Amino acid sequence: MAASGTGREAFATKAGFLLAAAGSAVGLGNMWRFPYQVSEGGGAALVVVYIGLIFLIGIPLMLAEFAIGRRGQRAPIGSLRALGGPAWGRLGYLFVLVGFAILSYYSVIAGWTVRYGIEAVVQGFAPSAADHFTAVASGGDAVAYHVAFMMATTLIVVGGVKGGIERASLLLMPALFVLVVGLAIWAATLPGAAAGYAVYLMPEVEELLNPDVWRAAAGQVFFSLSLGMGGMLTFASYLRRDQNLPESATVVSFTDFGVAFFAGLLVFPVIYSFALQGAVSGSTIGALFIAVPSAFEAMGAWGRVVGLFFFLVLALGAITSTISLLEVVTASVMDELGWSRRKAALLMGTAITLVGIVPATDLDALGLLDKIAGELLLLLGGLALALFAGWRIPAAVRDELIAGASPFWQRQVPRILFVMRYVMPPLVAVLAFFSLRETASAVAAFFSG
Ligand code: TRP
């Protein structure tokens, strides 16, 4: 990033912004959460609905965040307040809370990836992957890896996010993509892979009509594209007016989908080829961490090498996301309380680390937090952002979407605004209702044991 004319930090290049936004989007959401959601409900139907919702929710909402952020030139609380008044500014506090909550368990999962990477070197992959996952996801070691991951994230955010992340993403994203595609091709050669493809790619009609599948797919769109809590808004606040926003949102969304899709092409054939269905349905949350190490174990010595790279790249992909989560929290606290970057990042990072001890030691708590913060609250935050952009400041949004856009994308702006105003809010409202119901019963189940 370089200083812009206004003295505010700005991305040095257009590609820098795309990389940072894609780096925030691509992470454990693609590799861990996407296969988890697909195996938890709906199978291929969820994949199909997910693609549809990228157009109906993902791209328009990302554009709402981009427009608000670039217009406001501040972190979420400040931008919403500047553009909509103090009441809207308060919505930004919800975003800080959501970022806080998501990071507290996201870092736990990121810690698992680091541990698997280290184990690839020191002991190799365990033959009974499901039992090993249960051990990894509980106890003091899980806390230790979570604490270590949060420390790394906090140190980077204390140091200022900027140039390093821009440059690191440049290498990381292609590396992750090449590894996942390569492994997906290898998975295609496995005996019995076809059964996995059937589950992943052949939707059942009644599942396509199941509201729960739509709810889960929508939650996944929000989570994977980093939407609904002002993350993309914050990045766009570092933009100048020459960035082509509609094109950027489309590129980021489909890059993100591409990684998730290949992750599925790796995970599902492996599950069926290695007969891991039982293990995975017993712990859908661990689908990735049960399937992929099984594959590496079967590859023998090479599996340890490939596995090391796989988990290393995954951990690095995760850290570009944890940085973006902590950055929203930190930037907001800096703006609102006038704290230094150092103080804000250290105190918030420590608080999040402490809260994360709960999901680190309790997998059910992790799943519950993911439903509340990673789905319901993102849907509600996204609904509010859509209403704000589409109904409170539509003229400014139209202006932002046109500024910097090529003629082709300028012609799409009326369509985008139509979806932003009339399609997305009612759709998200209905899905948020289903999410509320689902979350309420999950909370009840959790506390009744
Ligand atoms: N999108 C990231 C992933 O898929 C996670 C993430 C980063 C996120 N920032 C976010 C999710 C903001 C929701 C909101 O791994």
Average pLDDT over residues 268-287: 88
pLDDT digits (tens, 9 = 90+) for 125-177: 988 889 999 999 988 999 999 999 999 999 988 877 565 566 666 777 788 88
Positive or negative, the CA dihedral 299, 301, 302, 305 is positive
User: Which residue has the least CA distance to atom 13 on ligand 1?
Assistant: 226
User: Which residue has the least CA distance to atom 10 on ligand 1?
Assistant: 226
Q: Is the CB of residue 24 below 6 angstroms from any atom belonging to ligand 1?
A: yes
Site of tokens 């399937």: 291
User: Which residue has the least CA distance to atom 2 on ligand 1?
Assistant: 25
Instruction: Give residue 221 CA to ligand 1 midpoint distance, Å.
Output: 10
Closest ligand 1 atom to residue 224 Cα is 4
pLDDT digits (tens, 9 = 90+) for 369-378: 999 999 999 9
* Burial (CB count within 10 angstroms: exposed 0-12, middle 13-18, buried 19+), residue 26: buried
Average pLDDT over residues 229-254: 94
Q: Is the CB of residue 229 below 6 angstroms from any atom belonging to ligand 1?
A: yes
Radius of gyration of the chain (CA): 21
* Local structure of residue 403 (DSSP, 8 states): T
Count how many residues are written for the chain: 449
User: Which residue has the least CA distance to atom 4 on ligand 1?
Assistant: 29
Q: Is the CB of residue 239 below 6 angstroms from any atom belonging to ligand 1?
A: no
pLDDT digits (tens, 9 = 90+) for 171-215: 777 888 888 899 999 999 999 999 999 999 999 999 999 999 999
Q: Is the CB of residue 29 below 6 angstroms from any atom belonging to ligand 1?
A: yes
- For a pLDDT cut of 70, what percent of the chain falls above it? 96
**Ligand 1 pocket test target in 226, 316, 375 with most atoms within 8 Å of CB:** 226
Residue 10 C-beta-side C-alpha neighbours within 13 Å: 16
pLDDT digits (tens, 9 = 90+) for 63-82: 999 999 999 999 899 999 99
Instruction: Give residue 193 CA to ligand 1 midpoint distance, Å.
Output: 30
User: Which residue has the least CA distance to atom 6 on ligand 1?
Assistant: 226
Q: For residue 2, what pLDDT is reported? A: 44
- List all residues 6 or more positions away from 5 whose beta carbon is below 8 Å from its beta carbon: none
Mean pLDDT, the chain, rounded, equals 92
356 phi and psi, to 5 degrees? -65, -15
CB 38, CB 46: distance < 8 Å:
yes
Which DSSP helix (H) or strand (E) runs through 247?
Answer: helix 245-273
Report the alpha-carbon distance of residue 373 to residue 442 in Å, rounded: 13
Which DSSP helix (H) or strand (E) runs through 360?
Answer: helix 357-361
Report the alpha-carbon distance of residue 392 to residue 389 in Å, rounded: 6
Q: For residue 164, what pLDDT is reported? A: 58
Three-state SS string over 287-342 comes to HHHHHHHHHHHHCCHHHHHHHHHHHHHHHHHHHHHHHHHHHHHHHHHHHHHCCCHH
Q: Is the CB of residue 224 below 6 angstroms from any atom belonging to ligand 1?
A: yes
Q: Is the CB of residue 231 below 6 angstroms from any atom belonging to ligand 1?
A: yes
Q: For residue 1, what pLDDT is reported? A: 45
Q: Is the CB of residue 102 below 6 angstroms from any atom belonging to ligand 1?
A: yes
Across 264-297, b (16+ Cβ under 10 Å) vs e yields bbbbbbbbbbbebeebbeebbbbbbbbbbbbbbb
Closest ligand 1 atom to residue 229 Cα is 14
Instruction: Give residue 25 CA to ligand 1 midpoint distance, Å.
Output: 6
Closest ligand 1 atom to residue 374 Cα is 13
Q: Is the CB of residue 108 below 6 angstroms from any atom belonging to ligand 1?
A: no
Q: Is the CB of residue 233 below 6 angstroms from any atom belonging to ligand 1?
A: no
Q: For residue 59, what pLDDT is reported? A: 98
Q: Is the CB of residue 234 below 6 angstroms from any atom belonging to ligand 1?
A: no
